[in-house]
Amino acid sequence: MTDGGACSVCDSLARARSGDASAFTELVQRHQRTVYSLALRMLADAHLAEDIAQEVFIRLHRKLTLVQSDTHLLFWLRQVTTRLAIDRLRREPRHELLPLREDPGIAAESADGDPLLQRHLRALIAQLPPPARAVVLLRYQEDMDPADIAAVLEMPVNTVKSHLKRSLASLREKLDGTPGMAAAAERR
């Protein structure tokens, strides 16, 4: 019996490595949500997010021969995306930005829970310091455990745990300070 999903992934990677353009496009399509969403939530700017996301895949195209497996590919994509986003944030001159205006076309609201609360949470996450922001995104968007996050971000596991703990506390505190939001978080 074959696992069709796993084989098709390995197959795309192998074919892309040998120069098959359509296979590379399949890889892009398979991983574009992850890469783009990480960049979007890190940078809180859809245009910059697309710039970064494109740059990630351009770099992947050049370094494809170094990617060993699909697991390695996902690791590489998450690492390069967060790294490029953090670098971009460090180079960003300080200026006033409007809060991320989430067009319905940019962020699909989740069917579960309170859309207003979710939007507020995304805005609060965008205010976290970049390294903490990356940790939160890898934990709750990518569902990674602290050890894997530590490997992607090249930081000690205890630092990852500390970022998580402080970020959650900060989010909770800010939600408590926003009328209606704390109750919404409780109600779900």
Partner 1 sequence: MKPLQALLALLVLAALSQAAPAADARLALPDFRALEARASETVSVSLDSSLIGLAARFLDPDKPEDAAARQAIAGLTGIYVRSFTFDADFAYPQAEVDSVRKQLSAPGWQPLVQVRSHKERNDVDVYIRVEGSKANGLAIIASEPREFTIVNIVGSIDLQKLHELEGHFGIPQLKLDGKKQP
Partner 2 sequence: MSADLEKQLRAALRAVEPPAGFAARVSARTQHGRWRRGWLPMQQRWVPTALAASVLAALLLGYGWQTHRERQGLQARQQLIEALRVTGQKLDLAYRGVQEASRPSDDTGA
Q: Which span sits near partner 2 by CB under 8 A: 1-9, 79-87, 136-144, 149-157? A: 136-144
Task: Tell me if 177 contacts partner 2 by CB under 8 A.
Answer: no
Considering only residues 62 through 81, tell me which ones interact with partner 1, judged by CB under 8 A.
none
157-176 and 146-153 are packed helices; what angle lies between their axes, rounded to 10 degrees?
110
Considering only residues 86 through 145, tell me which ones interact with partner 1, judged by CB under 8 A.
91-99
| Residue 155, SS3 per DSSP | coil
Q: Are 125 and 133 in contact (CB under 8 A)?
A: yes
| Euclidean distance between CA atoms 151 and 28, whole angstroms | 23
| Euclidean distance between CA atoms 171 and 131, whole angstroms | 15
Q: Is 16 exposed, middle or buried (0-12, 13-18, 19+ CB in 10 A)?
A: buried
Task: Tell me if 54 contacts partner 2 by CB under 8 A.
Answer: yes
Nearer to partner 2, 1 or 91 (CB): 91
Q: Are 181 and 175 in contact (CB under 8 A)?
A: yes
Nearest-approach distance from CB 105 to partner 1, in angstroms: 13
Residues at the interface with partner 2 (CB under 8 A):
19, 21, 24-25, 28-29, 32-34, 36-37, 40-41, 46, 49-51, 53-55, 57-58, 61-62, 93, 95-96, 105-108, 110, 112-114, 117-119, 121-122, 125, 136-137, 140-141, 143, 168, 171-172, 175, 185-186, 188
Residues at the interface with partner 1 (CB under 8 A):
45, 47-48, 91-99
